[in-house]
Amino acid sequence: MKPASVSDYRELARRRLPKMFFEYIDGGSYAEVTLGRNTADLEAIALRQRVMRDMSTLDMSVEVFGQTMSFPVGLSPVGMAGMYARRGEVQAAKAAASAGVPFCLSTVGVCSVEEVAAAGMPPWFQLYMLKDRGYMAELLARAKAAGCPVLVFTVDLPLPGSRYRDIRSGFTGSSGLSGALNTAWQGVTHPEWLWDVWLRGRPHTLGCVQSAVTEGRKVTDFLSWISRNFDRTVTWADIEWVRKTWDGPIVIKGILDPEDAREAVKAGAQGLVVSNHGGRQLDGVRSSISALPAVVDAVGGELEIFMDGGVRSGLDVLKALALGARACFVGRPWAYALGAGGQPMVEKMLGTLRSELATAMILTGCNVARNADKTLLDVAP
Ligand SMILES: Cc1cc2nc3c(=O)[nH]c(=O)nc-3n(C[C@H](O)[C@H](O)[C@H](O)COP(=O)(O)O)c2cc1C
């Protein structure tokens, strides 16, 4: 199948990846209510068609922290991408660089920040608050030394939400002989993945937190490590510590509530991501797109506002821009494309989002992406 849309990349990834990795990417927490809302609420927004306007020029670029994004889409941090394609974070970072958009490396990526940075453009670096502040300071110093321009500090995961699909597939909680046999069976029944990732994609460790986490352990054991080492005591005061340790822009990821957005401003953040972690944490919370307008009303103009969650097309990107986001990020779309066929597929997927956004801009009469506003939307009947 030649992929035409994000759902096609999803289908290709489903065929190519062992079930446990596909389900890990695809799933959400609990009954996946929020996961569903993220896409459904975007779908429900109507764009406003305008005709007979001179659309001979189109400017899709946006400036963020002194960096030009060729169009307003970045790659959200996604853990363990090196298990979806050989040295997956490097392949995705190269795809993002060739598209002229930022790639954000997860704390729990397979490739280290040094490995990704060495492959081209240094990534944005995502960090979780860990109990061991000395180790965190060391990680921040590594990210700085690797040239990472932006720190994305994820605040919506003081503990991991339960993901039923991961339990059912054996991704979490399975051990002993039956766990090993299950993993082996999933590998041998996906020979392309076995050859590309399992045999040629080693080492399968978590590059940035390797010494803390994976010594002598399976890479999939990281969820239990999160439970033990992620810090639930964190408050806004701790951002002060991060500020002192990191002198570049800080983006707080995982804001849904306008009051939290105000706290992020007070804490001195330069940006925030309106996000519910792709429906993978607190199931039942509202969709990211429905949370965006109130956050923009509360703190718009005081810091950069991004959103992620449920963006599956360039049309969705324009809806988010119209509601006040500077740019969108996508998580699953790039993870699916990576699993479907590595860097070339991620490039193709980004090309699709870009051309869909161009079409949406032309048909709504929007020449300049950074000028997008609510007038591009039809008021619901
Ligand atoms: C497989 C997977 C792993 C993720 N790992 C991380 C992570 O390590 N750090 C983080 O801040 N967010 C992580 N996220 C959340 C994404 O950064 C992003 O918020 C979410 O995927 C956006 O929703 P979307 O997948 O609908 O685009 C992960 C998401 C997925 C699907």
Extents of the domains making up the chain: 6-376
Q: List pocket residues of ligand 1, CB cut-off 6 Å.
A: 24-25, 38, 76-79, 106-108, 126, 154, 253, 275, 277-278, 280, 308-311, 330-332, 335
- Over residues 145-193, the pLDDT tens digits come to 999 999 999 999 988 899 999 999 988 877 777 778 888 888 899 999 9
125: confidence class by pLDDT, cuts 50, 70, 90: very high
Q: What are phi and psi of 329, to 5 degrees?
A: -120, 150
Q: What percent of the chain has pLDDT over 90?
A: 82
Between these two residues, 288 and 204, which has the higher pLDDT value? 288
Distance CA 353, CA 63 (A): 18
**Beta bridge pairs of residue 253:** 154, 273
Phi-psi region of 286 (alpha: psi -120 to 50; beta: other; left: phi over 0): beta
- C-alpha 52 – ligand 1 centre gap (Å): 40
Distances (CA, A) of 264 to 131, 293, 294, 325: 21, 16, 14, 16
Q: Is 319 exposed, middle or buried (0-12, 13-18, 19+ CB in 10 A)?
A: buried
Contact between residue 230 and residue 130 where contact means Cβ atoms under 8 Å apart: yes
Residue 133 has pLDDT above 60, yes or no: yes
**What's the confidence (pLDDT) of residue 131?**
85
Distance CA 300, CA 13 (A): 37
Task: Retrieve residue 37's tokens.
Answer: 């809302």
Q: Tokens 């995502």 identify what position?
A: 126
**What's the confidence (pLDDT) of residue 222?**
66
**What's the confidence (pLDDT) of residue 194?**
95
**What's the confidence (pLDDT) of residue 132?**
85
Residue 219 has pLDDT above 70, yes or no: no
Distance CA 88, CA 284 (A): 31
Q: How large is the average pLDDT for residues 219-226?
A: 68
Task: Retrieve residue 80's tokens.
Answer: 């363990």
Residue 129 has pLDDT above 60, yes or no: yes
Distance CA 309, CA 248 (A): 25
Q: Which of 277, 307, 319 to mutate to test the pocket of ligand 1 (most atoms within 8 A of CB)?
A: 277
**What's the confidence (pLDDT) of residue 50?**
97
- C-alpha 315 – ligand 1 centre gap (Å): 21
**CATH fold for domain 6-376:** TIM Barrel (3.20.20)
Distance CA 215, CA 330 (A): 31
Q: Tokens 């030009």 identify what position?
A: 68
- C-alpha 14 – ligand 1 centre gap (Å): 18
Atom 10 of ligand 1, residue of closest alpha carbon:
77
Q: Is 4 exposed, middle or buried (0-12, 13-18, 19+ CB in 10 A)?
A: exposed
Atom 20 of ligand 1, residue of closest alpha carbon:
278
Q: What percent of the chain has pLDDT over 70?
A: 96
Helix 237-245 × helix 133-145 angle, to 10°: 40
- Over residues 288-313, the pLDDT tens digits come to 999 999 999 999 999 999 999 999 99
Q: How large is the average pLDDT for residues 133-156?
A: 95
- Counted residue by residue, the chain has a size of 381
- Over residues 36-95, the pLDDT tens digits come to 999 999 999 999 999 999 999 999 999 999 999 999 999 999 999 999 999 999 999 999
Amino acid identity for residue 79 in this structure: G
Distance CA 295, CA 29 (A): 24
Q: How large is the average pLDDT for residues 348-364?
A: 98
For residue 275, the ligand 1 atom closest to its alpha carbon is 19
Element (H, E) at 92: helix 88-99
**Average pLDDT along the chain:** 94
Strands 124-127, 104-105: pairing kind:
parallel
**What's the confidence (pLDDT) of residue 208?**
86
Residue 217 has pLDDT above 70, yes or no: no
Q: Residue 369 contacts by C-beta under 8 Å, 6 or more apart in sequence?
A: 59, 60, 61, 62, 71, 72, 321, 357, 361
Q: What are phi and psi of 139, to 5 degrees?
A: -65, -45
Longest Cα pair distance anywhere in the chain, in angstroms? 67
Q: DSSP letters along 324-346, please?
A: T-SEEEESHHHHHHHHHHHHHHH
Distance CA 54, CA 338 (A): 37
For residue 329, the ligand 1 atom closest to its alpha carbon is 27
**What's the confidence (pLDDT) of residue 250?**
98
Distance CA 50, CA 321 (A): 17
- C-alpha 24 – ligand 1 centre gap (Å): 11
Between these two residues, 237 and 274, which has the higher pLDDT value? 274
Q: DSSP letters along 210-224, please?
A: HHHHTTTS-GGGHHH
pTM of the prediction? 0.96
Q: Where are the alpha helices (DSSP H) in 122-163?
A: 133-145
Q: Which residues are catalytic?
A: 277
